Chain A
Amino acid sequence: AQSVSQHNHHVILSEAASLELGCNYSYGGTVNLFWYVQYPGQHLQLLLKYFSGDPLVKGIKGFEAEFIKSKFSFNLRKPSVQWSDTAEYFCAVSSISSNNDMRFGAGTRLTVKP
Chain B
Amino acid sequence: DADVTQTPRNRITKTGKRIMLECSQTKGHDRMYWYRQDPGLGLRLIYYSFDVKDINKGEISDGYSVSRQAQAKFSLSLESAIPNQTALYFCATRDRVNTEAFFGQGTRLTVV
- B9-20 vs A, CB cutoff 8 Å, 1 = contact: the mask equals 000000000000
Which A residues have a C-beta under 8 Å from some C-beta of B? 6, 9, 32, 34, 42-46, 49, 51, 90, 92, 94, 96, 99-107
Residues of A within 8 A of B45 (CB): 101-104
> Quick one: closest B residue to A9, CB to CB?
B40
Inter-chain CB contacts under 8 Å: number = 57
State how many angstroms separate the Cβ of A83 from the closest Cβ of chain B: 22
Measured in the bound complex, the distance between the Cα atoms of B103 and A90 in whole Å is 13
Interface of B is mostly: strand
Q: List 12 A-B contacts (CB under 8 A).
A: A43-B105, A90-B42, A94-B97, A100-B31, A101-B45, A101-B58, A102-B45, A102-B94, A102-B101, A104-B35, A104-B45, A107-B43
Residue numbers of B with Cβ under 8 A of A are 31, 33, 35, 40-45, 48, 50, 56, 58-59, 90, 92, 94, 97-98, 100-101, 103-106
Please indicate the chain B residues that have their CB under 8 angstroms from the CB of A46 in the complex: 100-101
CB within 8 A of A101: which of B33, B42, B103? B33
Q: Is the CB of B48 within 8 A of A49?
A: no
In the complex, A34→B92 CA distance in Å? 14
Interface residue from A6, A44, A51, A94 paired with B103 (Cβ < 8 Å): A44
Shortest distance between the CB of A21 and any CB in chain B (Å)? 13
Complex interface: chain B residues within 8 A of A92 (CB): 101
Contact B41 A106 (CB under 8 A): yes
B43 partner, pick from A49, A96, A104, beta carbons under 8 A: A104
Known: A34-B101, A46-B101, A94-B97; 6 extra A-B contacts, CB below 8 A, are: A9-B40, A43-B103, A100-B50, A104-B42, A104-B44, A104-B45
Q: How far is the CA of A104 from the CA of B58 in the complex (A)?
A: 12
Q: How far is the CA of A44 from the CA of B40 in the complex (A)?
A: 16
Given contacts A43-B105, A101-B48, contact A107 B94 (CB under 8 A): no
